Amino acid sequence: MKIAVIGGGASGLIAAIAAARNGAQVAIYEKMNRVGKKILATGNGRCNYTNMDMSIHRYHSKSIKNAEAVLNFFDLYATLNFFEDLGISPYVGELGKVYPSSLQASSVLDVLRYEVQRLGIEEVTDCEITELRKNKDKFSIIGKSGSFQADKVILATGGKASPQLGSDGRGYDIAKSFGHKIVETFPALVQLKLEGKYFKRISGIRFDGTVKGFTNKGVVREDEGEILFTEYGISGPPVIQISRKVIEELNKKNKVFVAVDMFPHTTQMELYDILSARFGRIGYKSIEDGLIGFINKNLIPVVLMESGFEDLKKKCGKLNKKEIYKIIDILKGWKFEVTGHNTWQQAQSTAGGVDMSEVNPKTLESAKVRGLYLSGELLDVDGDCGGFNLQWAWSSGYTAGYFSSVV
């Protein structure tokens, strides 16, 4: 039996391996000049390939039960074993994130490609597939550089995130041509643009804190870690983490805000005690000088102006309780309105995709056409930042590869 895998990303590579191990003759058709380009960019070049704290609550989909069935079939431990067998020793970092112990994303791609070659899987690169047809029992796979035939097809073309690495959403058109519905897509895991006067001035400043996204109905998501001010707003792992929920609200035309806490482990009262003692000791200094050594120097005038101070030369010793609390309000709850987000180019994942209710959740075979399987980010499943998206790529790819090749 000949199986064609369209897309040689994380999901397509593992699908091809699973199918070939079952004895199928497999070919991968990849648009870029080599397979697995996105894998090399993951985890800042270290490839956070799964997470020890696996839970369905880290995933988002309109058909979460179907996603769960797939994640349970080829689960965290199956993934760890699969990669151990190929030579990847896991290293568990903060928050359960799993990396290869070499800390090189290239190791993950190297071992996958080695296995692809060992199993005799054909790799056809520089081959963008533009159309897929089914004639009786065979598929015609039509590409810019030729046409191919197969008995079954696994569509693993990814979503729309980071199109410079190959995934530009073309796979949705192919799925649509067989009658599949696409759940509305939007960039997930992406930086947020905020309303604010001072971003150019404070761009580049980093701190460990929390960021909370909220609407007038309450908090949508909160996360903690290193936050970075940028020219357009904020970035950093916790911002990326909350972005999906924030963008979901923006898409509903709700007003969304973020609040940043630069001292998440210090209460307002503790911070008051710290600051009033500090200002007491150096009462002769201006407030502008009085915060040097406490927060980033470039942040001081901006924090003071946002706290309502017009005279930054005012002496620390002259500050009253209300004025100190105004500074604390900014340090512990600086609020900004969210005006947007960065583009698909910067996004790490795609929310939405091919409707999961139109695939068999056990096998990932299309409910619209027999012999077509779908996997990876192309489907309406996305995960949190932290190894959850690659886990979905492995789980869904393995499932599609395995069941497409069972005779």
Ligand X SMILES: Cc1cc2nc3c(=O)[nH]c(=O)nc-3n(C[C@H](O)[C@H](O)[C@H](O)COP(=O)(O)OP(=O)(O)OC[C@H]3O[C@@H](n4cnc5c(N)ncnc54)[C@H](O)[C@@H]3O)c2cc1C
Q: Which residues bind ligand X (CB under 6 A)?
A: 6-12, 29-32, 37-38, 41-43, 47-48, 128-129, 156-158, 161-162, 166-167, 170-171, 348-349, 376-378, 387-390, 393
Residue 12 or 196 having the CB closest to ligand X: 12
Residue 141 or 330 having the CB closest to ligand X: 141
Residue 214 or 373 having the CB closest to ligand X: 373
Nearest distance, CB of residue 94 and ligand X, angstroms: 13
Nearest distance, CB of residue 156 and ligand X, angstroms: 5
Residue 213 or 376 having the CB closest to ligand X: 376
Residue 82 is given by DSSP the state H
Distance CA 367, CA 379 (A): 13
Nearest distance, CB of residue 184 and ligand X, angstroms: 18
Question: What burial letters (b/e) apply to 37-71, b meaning 16+ CB within 10 Å?
Answer: bbbeebbeebbbbbbeebeeebbbbbbbebbbbbb
- Single-letter amino acid code for the residue at 97: K
Three-state DSSP class for 38? helix
DSSP tally for the chain: helices H, then strands E? 13, 21
Residue 240 or 256 having the CB closest to ligand X: 240
Nearest distance, CB of residue 399 and ligand X, angstroms: 13
Three-state DSSP class for 118? helix
Residue 7 or 236 having the CB closest to ligand X: 7
Q: Is 253 left (phi over 0), alpha (psi -120 to 50) or beta?
A: left
Sequence-distant (≥ 6) Cβ neighbours of residue 95 within 8 angstroms: 51, 53, 386
Question: What burial letters (b/e) apply to 308-336, b meaning 16+ CB within 10 Å?
Answer: ebeeeebbbeebeeebbbbbbebbbebbb
Nearest distance, CB of residue 142 and ligand X, angstroms: 10
Residue 129 or 239 having the CB closest to ligand X: 129
Nearest distance, CB of residue 77 and ligand X, angstroms: 17
Residue 26 or 129 having the CB closest to ligand X: 129
Nearest distance, CB of residue 339 and ligand X, angstroms: 23
> 3, 26 in Cβ contact below 8 A?
yes
CA 262 to chain centre: 24
Nearest distance, CB of residue 217 and ligand X, angstroms: 30
Q: Is 324 left (phi over 0), alpha (psi -120 to 50) or beta?
A: alpha
Choose among 50, 43, 91, 31: nearest CA to 390: 50
